[in-house]
Amino acid sequence: MSKLYRILGLSLAVGLLSTPLAFAKYTEGAVSGGGTISGKVAFKGAQPAAKEFPIGKFPQEAFCSKVDTKDGTRFRQDVRVNGGGLGDVVVFIEKIESGKAFKPAEAMIVADQCRFLVAEGQGPSRAVTVVLNTKKAGKEGIIKVKNLDADPSDPKTAEGVLHNPHGYDVKGVMTKTIFNKPVPKKDQEITLKVKKTWFKKADSFMKIECDQHNYMNVWALPVTNPYYAVVNDDGTFSIGDVPAGKYVLKAFHQALGFKKMNIEVSGGGTAKADFEFGG
């Protein structure tokens, strides 16, 4: 065997041996002397205008016009700014091998007054939540969608306003359907298991949109470990019990994209991490 082939063979062997490390599942354990990451996600500049939808082009105009609607226009504020702080953001450590216990709740979405919303009690945001990346986390992720809408004044929808949650795996400008399930009756609930084929690419996320009412949207970030936080309305956040070390910290907003920074956490200390979008 030539020297060149031996070198190539050795390189390939090393690559194969190192590959599983890139997909190592998160390991739970006790954290001794962990630190904290805290900060604020800010928005520079004026808050962008809400998106507008001519509500008469969609079904159940009268019922769906009861909220967020004026003069025949439905409004959806995707970029919410409060005192310079940006809401509806998820801040997370991109990769971490081990740390505190990871027992994520099921992602619960409701259709309420022709809005897709994160269920109350699941966090400070009604527009964005997290969902488990089943393949990379080594745990099963669950998404539930419940329909709360019915219009007793209309015989056709007295038992329920038809919504059609259509889930997309989003990466940049590319989208791929991952589920499409109707919920025609009030109090009907569907349960979906996150498949290993979802969220294979870095910086991908989930969008759920109603095929009947396209202004109904909600978003979820796939996570692989418990070191994340959905920010408060003023953009502040805190992530605790972080093992000492160096990490890549990211911030995600569904309309504004991802930002990242390198951060070092010391045992028992607090690392400051501020992000800024816009401008």
Q: What is the CATH number of the domain that holds 172?
A: 2.60.40.420
Instruction: Answer yes or no: is 111 within a domain.
Output: yes
d(C-alpha 170, C-alpha 179), whole Å: 13
Is the separation of the CB atoms in 175 and 167 below 8 Å? no
| Rg (the chain; Cα; Å) | 22
d(C-alpha 79, C-alpha 127), whole Å: 10
Q: What is the pLDDT of residues 12-46, one digit of tens each?
A: 344 434 333 445 789 999 999 999 999 999 999 99
Is the separation of the CB atoms in 46 and 278 below 8 Å? no
Residue 11 has pLDDT above 50, yes or no: no
Instruction: Answer yes or no: is 5 within a domain.
Output: no
Share of the chain above pLDDT 90, in %: 87
Instruction: Answer yes or no: is 142 within a domain.
Output: yes
Instruction: Answer yes or no: is 10 within a domain.
Output: no
201: Cα separation from own chain's centroid: 14
Number of domains in the chain: 1
Share of the chain above pLDDT 70, in %: 91
Q: What is the pLDDT of residues 223-277, one digit of tens each?
A: 999 999 999 999 999 999 999 999 999 999 999 999 999 999 999 999 999 999 9
The answer, as to whether pTM is greater than 0.85, is: yes
pLDDT at 23: 52
Amino acid at 106: E
Instruction: Answer yes or no: is 247 within a domain.
Output: yes
Give the pLDDT band (50/70/90) at residue 102.
very high
Domain that holds residue 231: 41-278
Instruction: Answer yes or no: is 25 within a domain.
Output: no
Instruction: Answer yes or no: is 7 within a domain.
Output: no
Instruction: Answer yes or no: is 218 within a domain.
Output: yes
